[in-house]
Structure 1
Amino acid sequence: MACPAHPAHLACPAVPASVLKKEASMKKTVVATTLAVFAAWAQADALPLIDTHAHFQTIPYKELEASHKTALATMDRMNIARSLLMPQPFATLTPQWFYDIEDLLFTVKANPERFAVLGGSSLNLMIHGTPADAVDDAVRARFRKRAQDIVALGAVGFGEISVLHLSIPAMGPRHAYENVPADHPLLLLLADIAAENNIPIDLHCDLVPEDMPLPEMLRANALNPPLLEGNLPAFRRLLSHNSMTKIVWVHVGFEPLLTRHPERVRKMLQDYPNLYMSFRLNRGAPRPAAALDPDGKLKATWTDLVREFPDRFMLGSDSFYARNGIARGSSEEGLNNLRGLIEQLPPDLAPKVASENAIHLYRLKSPPVK
């Protein structure tokens, strides 16, 4: 048979056996790599996700039933098996916007396999509304009773509780600025109550290692002060107050001050075995504190952290579900980035971050496999 690359009257040049062998080997490598990639994608896509940090949007309208429907539809579309719902950390009482665990229990009753709830916005009001030197026995008793009521209602944790909560321009002009010492007496009391009941505290703490000027990007919201006071020593005192208290430090991987870079995260996890973190990944960025790069690729330094502390990381989107979608906080991009994180983790780590760590920490039932 004539060689198609040469006229019939010319002999087809022989291909050396070594070249043929090399080409065959390359083809096998390409096929194997492709199959491995697709296998990894398939595994990651099949993994049920647990979102440990989600809210219902109530500003300017509190439409909890509509938010519930949006959450379910979004969860179905994004393959989120279960969401942990909690009120945002209100520091002032505006009745038409305020809600706590009582307002979220209907979701668990309607879909017990899809939702669990945390409570504590009422506790956050008390923490931020009571000066440290005004905490007496009567205040402690009232605070403890409310916390125990939340536990009795079926809360899997206390949250969202805030220490320093900066006002983020992208979240709108009404996004709250809140600040209280992390070693406030009521926070220390809450740590003890959480330990007594074996439930974690979901904690928002924008970290200020030492006094620093407010970053330029946060100056558009006038609620933020021009100078931020260091809060790391007080935060350390909270973490060390009761070694049995499990604290979930939320929003790692995408946070406004860029102070939770891998070296600091590693140090904190080494120092406090009772500390856990949940990823919020609205966008990627080149700075070290961002877990994803601008193209959505998981940075090797963050993969190394998960490898070093495989039982300490979870997912927490910070989605605010409203009638017509996710109103603020996370977004479809943020949820896709959480899925992307799981897809990019090694197969032995992905299930832990996707759901297993949350199941263990919050003592949840395993989600149904879709």
Structure 2
Amino acid sequence: MRKFLSATALVLLATLSRADPVPLIDTHAHFQTIPYKDLEASHKAALANMDRMNIARSLLMPSPFATLTPQWFYDIEDLQFAVKANPGRFALLGGSSLNIMIHGTAPSAVTDEVRAKFRKRALEIVAAGAVGFGEISALHVSIPAMGPKHAYEDAPPDHPLLLLLADIAAENGIPIDLHCDLVPEDMPLPEALRPNLLNPRQLQANLPALKRLLSYNHKTRIVWSHVGLEPVPTRQPELVRQMLQAHPNLFMSFRLNRGLPRPSAALDPDGRLKPVWIDLIREFPDRFMLGSDAFYGRNGIVRGSSEEGMRNLRGLIEQLPPELQSKVASENAIRLYRLAPLAN
């Protein structure tokens, strides 16, 4: 028997013993549709996990599909049943159809006709009740743990259609959830990603283009997802600080499947929140949220986040100073996505 427990396990035990643990809003969750699509089963699994982990509300969104494969593709219209059945537990983002258009259209091929088609679809998503556009991808590397066919996608963050989406998002007062694996400068593909042959051996810098997207329309609020644990370990604390200082319209959501010693990981290997990340949250208390990246299937979470990852989100909150806990747990998400307050 182990003679000690990780910091996160101890936090979870302490949390479970409390009468009223801090409720969470998960701003980044999916229904898994590969190799089968059973959205109702995913819905039931999501509710069961949310009840068990005291997640008061989840923001559901389609994966950032880059191609239309009918047997597993879905967008916001396919998720509306979950909100109708449980209006207080779910809210929706949409945009997998937009992501296909972004990745299927070269920047030089964006004509007025393409723009009109893109805008029409974006406004349909807004009309369908979207609280945001997502998950939209710029660079999305293929991760070996997700299987050899896990998507590799690469579009410049300042792609003309992404800039158009920024304008549409600002016009309608809703954010964009952006997946952008960060490449500050041209660099070799990290060794851990080389088993998946969809990835190129050399990654091209995308930080300048990301800065152009963030500066393009200051009314556009962008949630840069998956901070705290990423396959390209470049979003380190000092860079996060610089980006948040330079771009008041930038927000981030934590994904914390596990802890690692590398600086870009928010948790250490024992599940402790690193002091530098606590300092960042204290410096920017209104800019961080939780986003598990859980994929719900028939049997619960089937990929993306893990059981440990879900516990780690709770652990992060419980390790924050009391005055920051509710902000990161739910209040920032309620304000940013214009959600109804949580029921008492």
Same topology, TM > 0.5: yes
CA contact (8 A) 1:278 1:314 kept: yes
What is the DSSP-based 3-state SS (H/G/I as helix, E as strand, rest coil) of the residue aligned with 1:283?
coil
**One-letter amino acid of the structure 2 residue matched with residue 316 of structure 1:** G
Map 1:321-332; keep pairs closer than 5 Å: 321-332=296-307
- Does 2:139 correspond to 1:195? no
Distance 1:140 1:265 in 2: 32
Find the counterpart in structure 2 of residue 165 from structure 1.
140
The residue number in structure 2 matching 1:139 is 114
Task: Identify which of 317, 321, 344 aligns with 2:292.
Answer: 317
Alignment root-mean-square deviation, CA: 1.5
Q: How many residues align?
A: 333
C-alpha separation in 1, matches of 2:35 and 2:112: 37
* CA apart distance, 1:49: 0.1
* Amino acid of the structure 1 residue aligned with 2:215: S
TM-score, structure 2 as length reference: 0.95
Is 1:112–2:112 an aligned residue pair? no
Equivalent residue of 1:118, what SS?
A: strand
**1:250 has 2:245 as partner:** no
Contact kept, 8 Å, 2:149 with 2:198, in 1: the verdict is no
Query: How far is 1:174 from its partner?
Result: 2.1
The amino acid across from 1:294 in the alignment is: P
> TM-score, structure 1 length as denominator?
0.88
| Aligned position for 1:220 | 195
What percent of counterpart residues are identical? 77
TM-superposed deviation, 1:43: 6.9
Cα separation, partners in 2 of 1:354 and 1:260, compared to 1, 3 Å: same
Assess, with a 3 A threshold, how the Cα gap between structure 1 residues 181 and 368 changes in structure 2: closer, same or farther.
Answer: same
Q: Please give the alpha-carbon distance, in whole angstroms, between the structure 2 residues aligned to 1:314 and 1:285.
A: 20
Q: Say which of 241, 246, 250 aligns to 1:275.
A: 250
Aligned twin of 2:10: none
**Long gaps (5+) in structure 1:** 1-37
How far 1:42 moved relative to its partner? 6.6
What is the deviation of 1:101? 0.2
Deviations 1:146-176 (Å, cap 9, x if unpaired)?
0000000100000000000000011112210
CA distance in 2, matches of 1:59, 1:41: 33
Question: How far off its partner does 1:261 sit?
Answer: 0.6
For the Cα contact (< 8 Å) 2:252–2:289, is it kept in 1?
A: yes
- Whole-Å Cα distance in 1 between the matches of residues 16 and 37 of structure 2? 38
- The answer on whether the counterparts of 2:139 and 2:182 sit within 8 Å (CA) in structure 1 is yes
**Higher relative contact order (CA closer than 8 Å, sequence separation 6+):** 2
What is the aligned partner in structure 1 of residue 268 from structure 2?
293
- Given residue 69 of structure 2, which amino acid in structure 1 is its aligned partner? T
Rounded to whole Å, the distance in 2 between the matches of 1:256 and 1:39 is 31
Residue of structure 2 in register with 1:306 after alignment:
281
Q: Which residue among 34, 45, 57 is the counterpart of 1:59?
A: 34
User: Deviations for 1:114-143, whole angstroms, at most 9, x for unmatched residues?
Assistant: 000000000000000011111111110010
Map of 1:39-78 to 2, 5 A cutoff? 46-78=21-53
CA–CA distance in 2 between the matches of 1:65 and 1:129?
A: 30
Could you tell me how far apart the structure 1 residues matched to 2:91 and 2:30 are? 12
In structure 2, C-alpha distance between the alignment counterparts of 1:44 and 1:230, rounded to whole Å: 48
Q: Within 2, Cα distance between the matches of 1:56 and 1:184?
A: 27
For the pair shown, the structure with the greater C-alpha radius of gyration is: 1
| 2:15–2:21 CA contact under 8 A, matched in 1 | no
Taking the aligned partners of 1:331 and 1:139, their CA distance within structure 2 comes to 39
1:199-237 CA-partner distances (Å, limit 9, x unpaired)? 000000000000000011000100000000000000100
SS at match of 1:145: helix
CA distance in 2, matches of 1:326, 1:204: 20
In structure 2, what is the Cα distance between the partners aligned to 1:337 and 1:73?
18
Shift of the alpha carbon at 1:346?
Answer: 0.3
1:129 aligned residue: 104
Q: CA deviation at 1:331?
A: 1.1
Closer/same/farther in 2, CA of residues 274 and 43 from structure 1, 3 Å limit: farther
Question: Is 1:346 aligned with 2:310?
Answer: no
Residue 210 (str. 1) matches residue 195 (str. 2): no
Distance 2:237 2:301 in 1: 29
